[in-house]
Amino acid sequence: ETGVTQSPTHLIKTRGQQVTLRCSSQSGHNTVSWYQQALGQGPQFIFQYYREEKNGRGNFPPRFSGLQFPNYSSELNVNALELDDSALYLCASSVFGGSEGYTFGSGTRLTVV
Amino acid sequence: KNEVEQSPQNLTAQEGEFITINCSYSVGISALHWLQQHPGGGIVSLFMLSSGKKKHGRLIATINIQEKHSSLHITASHPRDSAVYICAVRYWSGGNQFYFGTGTSLTVIP
């Protein structure tokens, strides 16, 4: 049984560029949630995908978009990067409504310069 | 507004001490998650509970649904317990996602 894998682990982008972050969910999980964690803060919910459909969205602008594939892996896309987008992006997979909670990936550290 | 509050924000303890971290929330929840985050960012799930108490090794988590409060206890603390401990809740009205507190930074001194 594999855990949650995120790629890349670190990334440096220039303001205005676009970025795609990837997440493969744990075997048996059908839901992927994305979170942004700024330094010293708790993770903030971006959105969640369940069976390839978006199932909730946090207070993030439309520049943040995503999708989920039939194998339940997921991508987070951020367009027109801003300096404040610099953060740790966390992916968590789970079974929708399950009793075991989230399994987290190690995150992608994005730095926008 | 759905809020998750943790206390204390920072905690320093001597090795061997009994530690308690608290989490309170504002509205009804279907589940509460205790998580551990080490420097570098990796997050590990410790417990998920919706009632009562769970124990794993030196860690104990309790929840009081009526008081909207949960505690995480660490017995016989050790320097390797040094990490940020985060409480997250899944609200009945908030879909399937979890909402996180800002975490408690624990440092255990040898």
Q: What does the pLDDT look like over A33-46, one tens digit per residue?
A: 999 999 888 899 99
Tokens of B86: 């985060």
DSSP state of A95: -
Position B2 scores a pLDDT of 57
> Chain A contact for B101, CB < 8 A?
yes
Average pLDDT, chain B: 91
| Cβ neighbours for A68, distance < 8 A, ≥ 6 positions apart | A32, A49, A50, A51, A52, A53, A74
Residue B52: predicted pLDDT: 93
Q: Which residue has the higher pLDDT, B19 or B98?
A: B19
User: What is the reported pLDDT for B40?
Assistant: 75
Element (H, E) at B98: none
The string of pLDDT tens digits covering residues A34-87 is: 999 998 888 999 999 999 999 889 999 999 999 999 999 999 999 999 999 999
What gap in Å lies between CA B19 and CA A95, rounded to an integer? 31
Q: Read off the pLDDT band of B41 (50, 70, 90).
A: confident
> Across the interface, do A101 and B41 touch by the CB < 8 Å criterion?
no
Span A95-101, average pLDDT: 78
Of A45, A56, A88, the CB nearest to B41: A88
Question: Taking CB atoms and an 8 Å cutoff, what residues of chain B touch A56?
Answer: 94-97
Mean pLDDT of all residues in B67-94 = 93
pLDDT of B77 > 70? The answer is yes
Yes or no: say if A29 and A50 are a contact pair by the CB < 8 Å rule: no
Binning pLDDT at 50, 70 and 90, where does residue A111 land? very high
**Whole-number pLDDT of residue B30:** 86
Burial category of A98 from C-beta neighbours within 10 Å (exposed 0-12, middle 13-18, buried 19 and up): middle
pLDDT at position B76, please? 96
- Beta strands in A69-107, from DSSP E residues, in sequence order: 74-78, 87-94, 103-104
Report the amino acid identity of residue B13. Answer: A
Residue pair A76/A23 in contact by the 8 Å Cβ criterion = yes
Question: B97 pLDDT band (50/70/90 cuts)?
Answer: confident
- Give residue B23's pLDDT: 97
Sequence-ordered list of residues with C-beta below 8 angstroms from that of B21, at least 6 positions apart, any chain: B6, B7, B8, B11, B71, B72, B73, B85, B87, B104, B106
Put simply, the answer to whether B96 touches A94 (Cβ < 8 Å) is: yes
B94 confidence band (pLDDT: 50, 70, 90): low
